[in-house]
């Protein structure tokens, strides 16, 4: 083999290696995009991890803090909190979380310029007003009820609650939005890179069809094998890392178990998707490799 032939094989080997790396990275990022920016994934996870019940407690605590001390001196805060939770059906919670998730993802993807994190409280406020009026009528002496204006006492409770006002680090979210835009650019760059690598391999090996098919087949087979390996191994590795992290912090802190379960499901979803790509790459690569045995070595 001539020096030029050896050099060509070295270049093809380098291109094949780069193509494998490119395809694997592209598969992981595409799956990450498909999961991380899909509102349905978060809706299903919140349902699965029973987050709605805990969120009711958080919302009730926030609303109690909005009420005047005069009202909580008349009606025990715990009873008000229970009534707020009773006034929040699961369907309402799901609708609010769905809206928040969609708005946040739209903001991160650049589809919206402003972050909208408002929760409608009109139904909760109406229910609380009815409860407070009934409580006053049943538990306060008649001569004092006229001096208590429930609607006025509940007036500080807003019709909508803006969660953005509670987030001191919104500037960091804006920075994260810029990272997301770079993430989308990286996916496009990997797609273009894969096309360029395929074209370069074809240009270098097109005069030998048998060799060309194999130089395309082998990176596809290798990429498929790596993707399938990732699909099998990475979820377990992520679970192990999360377990070690939780153990190092002295056990489960509040909410840590839910976060750990969410991260594990997130990793499973990403790398399970890699399995489908891996099988596709492997199948196409094997077919091309088999076909290479039945074609002429040289193009006429």
**Could you read off the pLDDT of 139-166 as tens digits, one per residue?**
666 655 566 666 666 676 777 777 666 5
Q: What is the 3-state secondary structure (H, E, C) of 81-131?
A: HHHHHHCCCHHHHHHHHHHHHHHHHHHHCCCCCCCCCEEECHHHHHHHHHH
By the 10 Å C-beta count (0-12 exposed, 13-18 middle, 19+ buried), 7 is classed as exposed
By the 10 Å C-beta count (0-12 exposed, 13-18 middle, 19+ buried), 94 is classed as middle
For residue 14, name the pLDDT band (cuts at 50, 70, 90): very high
Q: Which residues contact 6 (CB under 8 A, 6 or more apart)?
A: none
User: What pLDDT shows up at residue 151?
Assistant: 67
Give the rounded percent of residues in the chain with a pLDDT score beyond 70. 83
For residue 284, name the pLDDT band (cuts at 50, 70, 90): very high
For residue 175, name the pLDDT band (cuts at 50, 70, 90): confident
Res 206 pLDDT > 50: yes
Average pLDDT in the 163-171 region?
63
User: What pLDDT shows up at residue 99?
Assistant: 84
CB 208 within 8 A of CB 5: no
Side-chain half-sphere of 154: how many Cα atoms within 13 Å?
Answer: 19
CB 51 within 8 A of CB 258: yes
CB 120 within 8 A of CB 96: yes
Q: How many CB atoms lie within 10 A of CB 138?
A: 8
Distances (CA, A) of 18 to 29, 137, 223, 268: 16, 77, 11, 26
Decide the pairing of beta strands 160-162 and 118-120.
Answer: antiparallel
The alpha carbon dihedral of 37, 40, 46, 48 has a sign of negative
Structure tokens at 275: 């399995």
Q: Which residue has the higher pLDDT, 169 or 30?
A: 30
- CA pair distance 65, 68, nearest whole angstrom: 8
Average pLDDT in the 19-40 region?
91
The pTM of the full predicted model, rounded to 2 decimals, is 0.76
Q: Which residue has the higher pLDDT, 126 or 279?
A: 279
User: What pLDDT shows up at residue 141?
Assistant: 65
Q: Which residue has the higher pLDDT, 281 or 298?
A: 281
For residue 194, name the pLDDT band (cuts at 50, 70, 90): very high
Average pLDDT in the 11-24 region?
93
For residue 253, name the pLDDT band (cuts at 50, 70, 90): very low
- CA pair distance 172, 260, nearest whole angstrom: 23
Mean pLDDT of the residues in the chain: 79
Identify the weakest region by mean pLDDT among 42-46, 64-68, 213-217, 277-281: 64-68
Average pLDDT in the 222-241 region?
85
């Amino acid at each position: 083999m001539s020096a030029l032939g050896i050099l060509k094989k070295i270049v093809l080997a380098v291109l094949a290696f780069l193509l494998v790396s490119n395809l694997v990275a592209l598969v992981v990022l595409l799956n990450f995009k498909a999961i991380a920016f899909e509102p349905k994934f978060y809706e299903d996870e919140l349902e699965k991890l029973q987050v709605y019940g805990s969120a009711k407690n958080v919302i009730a605590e926030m609303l109690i803090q909005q009420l005047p001390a005069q009202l909580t001196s008349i009606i025990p805060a715990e009873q008000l909190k229970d009534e707020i939770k009773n006034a929040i059906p699961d369907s309402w919670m799901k609708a609010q979380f769905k809206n928040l998730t969609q708005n946040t993802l739209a903001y991160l993807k650049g589809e919206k310029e402003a972050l909208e994190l408002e929760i409608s409280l009109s139904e909760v406020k109406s229910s609380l007003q009815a409860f407070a009026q009934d409580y006053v009528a049943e538990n306060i002496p008649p001569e004092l009820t006229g001096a208590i204006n429930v609607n006025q006492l509940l007036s500080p409770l807003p019709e909508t609650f803006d969660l953005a006002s509670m987030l001191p680090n919104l500037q960091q979210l804006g920075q994260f939005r810029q990272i997301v835009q770079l993430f989308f650019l990286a996916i496009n760059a990997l797609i273009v890179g894969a096309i360029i690598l395929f074209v370069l391999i074809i240009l270098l090996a097109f005069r030998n069809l048998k060799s060309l098919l194999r130089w395309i087949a082998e990176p596809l087979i290798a990429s498929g094998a790596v993707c399938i390996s990732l699909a099998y191994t990475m979820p377990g590795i992520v679970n192990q890392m999360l377990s070690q992290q939780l153990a190092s912090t002295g056990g489960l802190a509040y909410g840590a178990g839910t976060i750990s379960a969410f991260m594990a499901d997130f990793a499973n979803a990403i790398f399970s998707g890699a399995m489908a790509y891996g099988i596709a790459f492997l199948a196409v690569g094997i077919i091309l490799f088999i076909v290479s045995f039945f074609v002429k070595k040289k193009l006429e």
